[in-house]
Amino acid sequence: MAGHRLSTGGMEEVLSSHQDVAECAVVGIKDDLKGEVPCGFVVLKAGVGREPAEVEREIVTLVRDKIGPVAAFKIAIVVNRLPKTRSGKTLRGTMKKIADDDAWTMPATIDDSAALSEIAAALQRRLSRGPESKLQELRNEVRVNLCGMSLHRPETVVKLGAEGRVPGQRGSASASAAFLRASNPTET
């Protein structure tokens, strides 16, 4: 996944270590740049009253801390239940096909067919945040890589010197600087 040989099982182990997670599944979904990126589905324990978005952010941070940024784990989705067979196996292959928008058929051994519809709806909600949010994520990554800044300070703007590079850093950042100027003309 993400251009590396990473185990979804290892990521699931990290997800399940979160105090609010009852069960989880990680599948690789198609990505134009990296081939596949991991997508985690988590079911919260009964009685957890926290916002799902907050738990999702914590899970992404947890994977980044335990496995590292190489995992490229950025999509965590809280769902009510995971689709399973009558014998209790999670239908990861079908979940992957739904996420990749590939043709899929309802498995004959599924326990509750409504669970797959719930997965599709959750994916649609999460991935429909639009290209604007993905572009903003990319901008923030470029800023962090250029200056070593924290994402906790998104109001900070990269100021480039006359040579087209960040003052105090060696090497040219002209390609990144051009990207920042082109994608965000109001910030200079």
Give tens-digit pLDDT for 62-83. 999 998 888 788 999 999 999 9
Question: SS3 for 29?
Answer: strand
Token pair, residue 137, equals 């994520």
Domains located in the chain, CATH noted: 8-128 (3.30.300.30), 132-183 (no CATH)
Per the CB < 8 A criterion, the answer to whether 82 and 115 are in contact is yes
Nearest to 2, CA basis, from 41, 40, 31: 31
The model carries a pTM of 0.66
Q: What is the pLDDT at residue 142?
A: 58
Question: SS3 for 69?
Answer: helix
Give tens-digit pLDDT for 76-118. 999 999 999 999 999 999 999 999 989 999 999 999 989 999 9
Give tens-digit pLDDT for 143-182. 555 555 444 444 444 444 444 444 554 544 444 444 445 5
pLDDT band at 136 (very low <50, low <70, confident <90, very high): low
The full length of the chain comes to: 188
